[in-house]
Amino acid sequence: MFLPVIIAGGSGSRLWPLSRALNPKQFLPLADSRYSMLQATINRLSGLDIPDPLVICNEDHRFLAAEQLRQLGLDKTKIILEPVGRNTAPAVALAALQATSNGADPVLLVLAADHLIQDTPTFQKCMDAALPLADSGQLVTFGIVPTHAETGYGYIEKGDKLSSGFTVSRFVEKPDLPTAERYLASGDYLWNSGMFMFQASRYLQELDRLAPEILAACRAALAGSQEDMHFVRVERSAFEECPEDSIDYAVMEKTADAVVVPLEAGWNDIGSWSALWDVSEKDSNGNVFKGDVLSDKTINSYIHADSRMVATVGVENLVVVETKDAVLVVNKDKVQDVKKIVDQLKACNRTEYLNHREVYRPWGKYDSVDQGERYQVKRITVKPGAKLSVQMHHHRAEHWIVVSGTARVTVGEKTYLVGENESTYIPLGQVHSLHNPGVIPLELIEVQSGSYLGEDDIVRFEDQYGRA
């Protein structure tokens, strides 16, 4: 038996504009119309005799992760929150320390939340085959059997044959094309998947020997952690002092106990739009269409329409992705450069890299329908039973018009109900809150007016989601 550790960090900037910093690809249903990539990673373990997973994510993504776990019936799954990103070696150190905090010493299966694996039975058999190696003290990594000469992945050279794998001869950085072709022809190399299995104590021992400053910082961060519901909030200042490094560089490339188990189960890291096109079902012209798409003489293209109809005529080898606030058009051969657009957005201090027009919150969501110099209009949806924080604003007043459902509104000392086709007014500086007491979603239109309309103009006095 092993404990799954699912790393749900990362920004997925090459899949912009669907993937944003506050709603990255691991929380999106990219390869599966029903489940996000995080949920698909958890579902891949279904049927195995294992405990609930331990999830690690950025603090900014905590409610996304919690809601998606709740949808799978994993309401009490612990989620370790990283206040800042420090790569995989510290993330897994936190998981190993948490897993051993009660005296246990489980074998950890470390998975990325944003990988696609199409053959679940083969994947599970491979995990079972790797378990005896991890039980014996080896540090196992999983190497993907290559299907072509890929220059976008690191490689692992196989060493001596073991019962269900090989010793690791060496790790190799991403090669150029001629080198990748040689690797493929030799049959001695596997793609580095970034998935691992090892006993928690063995990982901590090797980390202490090879990168002791990482382990020390993680021990201090976890020692000062606080538990809030099922969130484990590590101490920020200690974790900020932690060096940033991957498991590969910090441990796997230096340890004498690294072994690799080959995996051939339809793996893909969905690292770009062309990778998503590769794994998606195509029509007779080699196209992948998502949403309301019309086309004529369109070939080998990926077209995604999120909020409106998209039409293409006479194009080939393109990726077109439409969202409510952005449209991307890129040649499939240049999709790795999408990150450069994200860098430009950051440099210009634009918000389109950060979040979508439609933003999810633990209580529901809001869609910024329109805005001007001194006003903003939002469509707000509040889940049944959910409540926004008790709050006030220094620079704006708000009008609320209920479209459907019933709102329980508190303004100052007064609490009252607002029904469909009714409205209420929240003056500037007034303490207020909003609650959906009903059994159906509450939908309302919010009109903000004032000198400053930023999301940081919120003073929270009380919040059931720990944001006060």
428 phi/psi in degrees, rounded to 5: -55, 135
Structure tokens at 310: 């998209």
Least confident window among 25-34, 80-89, 217-226, 371-380? 25-34
Structure tokens at 441: 């979603």
**Which pLDDT value is given to residue 225?**
94
Counting Cα atoms < 13 Å in the Cβ hemisphere of 102 gives: 4
Alpha carbon distance 200, 94 (integer Å): 10
> Taking 90 as the threshold, does the pLDDT of residue 122 lie above it?
yes
Q: What's the average model confidence in pLDDT over 328-340? A: 96
Q: What's the average model confidence in pLDDT over 270-287? A: 95
What is the separation, in whole angstroms, between the first and last Cα of the chain? 40
Alpha carbon distance 179, 153 (integer Å): 12
Look at the domain 2-268 and name its fold.
Spore Coat Polysaccharide Biosynthesis Protein SpsA; Chain A (3.90.550)
Q: What's the average model confidence in pLDDT over 255-278? A: 95
**Which pLDDT value is given to residue 320?**
98
Confidence of residue 33 (pLDDT cuts 50, 70, 90): confident
Q: Which of 220, 224, 223, 227 is nearest to 466 (CA)?
A: 227
**Which pLDDT value is given to residue 468?**
67
Average pLDDT over the chain, rounded to an integer = 95
Model confidence over 181-199: pLDDT tens digits?
999 999 999 999 999 999 9
> Taking 90 as the threshold, does the pLDDT of residue 295 lie above it?
yes
pTM for the model: 0.90
Q: How far is CA 304 from CA 21, 292, 341, in A?
A: 20, 8, 18
**Which pLDDT value is given to residue 1?**
84
Confidence of residue 455 (pLDDT cuts 50, 70, 90): confident
DSSP lists the bridge partners of residue 459 as 392
Across the beta sheet with 358-361, what order do the strands follow? 358-361, 364-371, 375-382, 442-450, 396-404, 423-426
Alpha carbon distance 328, 256 (integer Å): 46
Task: Indicate if the alpha-carbon torsion angle 245, 132, 114, 24 is positive or negative.
Answer: negative
Q: How far is CA 124 from CA 44, 49, 78, in A?
A: 8, 11, 23
Quick one: angle between helices 88-99 and 212-223, nearest 10?
A: 50
Least confident window among 276-285, 319-328, 353-362, 372-381? 353-362
User: What Rg value do the Cα atoms of the chain yield, rounded?
Assistant: 24
- β-bridge pairing 166-172 and 155-161: antiparallel
Q: Which of 102, 106, 105, 164 is nearest to 132 (CA)?
A: 164
Return the percentage of the chain with pLDDT > 90, whole number: 93
Model confidence over 355-373: pLDDT tens digits?
999 988 889 999 999 999 9
Domain boundaries, the chain: 2-268, 275-342, 358-462
Output 97 or 31, whichever has higher pLDDT: 97
Model confidence over 374-397: pLDDT tens digits?
999 999 999 999 999 999 999 999
Confidence of residue 465 (pLDDT cuts 50, 70, 90): confident
**Which pLDDT value is given to residue 10?**
85
377 phi/psi in degrees, rounded to 5: -120, 130
Alpha carbon distance 339, 16 (integer Å): 8
> Taking 90 as the threshold, does the pLDDT of residue 448 lie above it?
yes
Q: What's the average model confidence in pLDDT over 427-450? A: 97
Confidence of residue 108 (pLDDT cuts 50, 70, 90): very high
Alpha carbon distance 52, 67 (integer Å): 15
Look at the domain 358-462 and name its fold.
Jelly Rolls (2.60.120)
By residue count, the chain amounts to 468
Model confidence over 200-239: pLDDT tens digits?
999 999 999 999 999 999 999 999 999 987 899 999 999 9
**Which pLDDT value is given to residue 467?**
75
